[in-house]
Amino acid sequence: MKIQLKPQDYAVNRPPIWCPGCGDYGILEALRRALAELSVPNHEVVVVSGIGCSSQLPHFMKTYGIHGIHGRAVAIATGVKLANPKLKVVVVGGDGDGYGIGLNHMIHAARRNVGLTYIVSNNQVYGLTTGQMSPTTLRGVKTKTTPFGAIDEPVNPLALALAAGATFVARGFSGDVAHLTTVIKKALTHRGFALVDVLSPCVTFNKINTYDWFRARVYKLEESGHDPSSYYEAYKRALEWPTLDPYGKIPIGIFYATEDKPTYEEEWVKLLGGAPIDQKLQLDPAEVLKAFQ
Partner 1 sequence: MDLTIRISGAQGEGVETVGRLLAKSFAQLGYHVFAYRQYGSIIKGNPTMFYQVRVSDEKIYSHGTWRSYDVLVALNDKALQAHRGGAKHVISESEIPFTEIAVKHGDRIMRNTAALGALAALIGMELTPIEGVIRREFGERGEKIAEANIAVLRAAYDAALKRLGSVYEVKRVGEPRVLMSGAEALAVGAVMSGMKFYAAYPMTPASPILHWLAEWGPKFGVAVVQPEDEIAAINMAIGAAYAGVRAAVGTSGGGFDLMHEAFGLAAMIETPLVVFLAQRGGPSTGLPTETEQSDLLMALSPSHGEYPHAVIAPRWIEEGLYATAKAFNIAEKYQVPVIVLVDLYFTESLATVEFDPHRFKIERGELLQGPLVWEEYKRYKITESGVSPRALPGTPGGMHIATSDEHDERGDVITDTHQPAIRKAMHQKRMVKLTKIVEEMEPPMIQEGDVVALAWGSTAMPLLDYAKGRKVGLALFRDLYPLSVDGWAQRLNEAKEVVAVELNYRGQFAEYLASKGVKVTRRVLKWWGEPFSIDELGEWL
Binding site for partner 1 (CB under 8 A): 14, 17, 41-44, 46, 48, 51, 56, 58-59, 62-69, 72, 75-84, 86-87, 104-105, 107-108, 268, 271-274, 276-277, 279-283, 285, 287-289, 291-292
Q: Which is nearer to partner 1, 148 or 292 (CB)?
A: 292
DSSP H stretches of helix in the chain: 24-38, 73-83, 95, 103-112, 157-164, 177-189, 211-215, 231-239, 264-272, 285-289
Report d(CA 141, CA 276) in Å as an integer.
47
Q: Which is nearer to partner 1, 155 or 252 (CB)?
A: 155
Q: How far is the CB of 252 from partner 1 (least distance, A)?
A: 29
Inter-CA distances, 20 with 33, 141, 210, 228, Å: 20, 23, 14, 35
Q: How far is the CB of 62 from partner 1 (least distance, A)?
A: 6
Q: How many CB atoms lie within 10 A of CB 273?
A: 8
Q: How many CB atoms lie within 10 A of CB 284?
A: 9
Q: How far is the CB of 80 from partner 1 (least distance, A)?
A: 4
Are 219 and 192 contacting, i.e. CB atoms less than 8 angstroms apart? Answer: no
Q: Is the peptide bond before 242 cis (omega within 30 degrees of 0)?
A: yes
Positive or negative: CA dihedral 35, 40, 41, 42? negative
Are 250 and 215 contacting, i.e. CB atoms less than 8 angstroms apart? Answer: no
Q: How far is the CB of 276 from partner 1 (least distance, A)?
A: 4
Task: State how beta strands 117-122 and 194-199 pair.
Answer: parallel
CA angle 267, 263, 80 (to 5 degrees): 85
Q: Which is nearer to partner 1, 12 or 244 (CB)?
A: 12
Are 184 and 173 contacting, i.e. CB atoms less than 8 angstroms apart? Answer: no
Q: How far is the CB of 144 from partner 1 (least distance, A)?
A: 21
Q: Which is nearer to partner 1, 84 or 210 (CB)?
A: 84
Q: Which is nearer to partner 1, 111 or 236 (CB)?
A: 111
Q: Which is nearer to partner 1, 57 or 141 (CB)?
A: 57
Q: Which is nearer to partner 1, 147 or 273 (CB)?
A: 273
Q: How far is the CB of 247 from partner 1 (least distance, A)?
A: 34
Buried b (16+ CB within 10 A) or exposed e, 216-252: ebbeebeeeebebeeeebbbebbebbbeeeeeeebbb
Q: Which is nearer to partner 1, 151 or 289 (CB)?
A: 289
Q: Which residues are bridge partners to 169 per DSSP?
A: 195, 256
Q: How far is the CB of 248 from partner 1 (least distance, A)?
A: 34
Q: How far is the CB of 10 from partner 1 (least distance, A)?
A: 10
CA angle 87, 88, 91 (to 5 degrees): 120
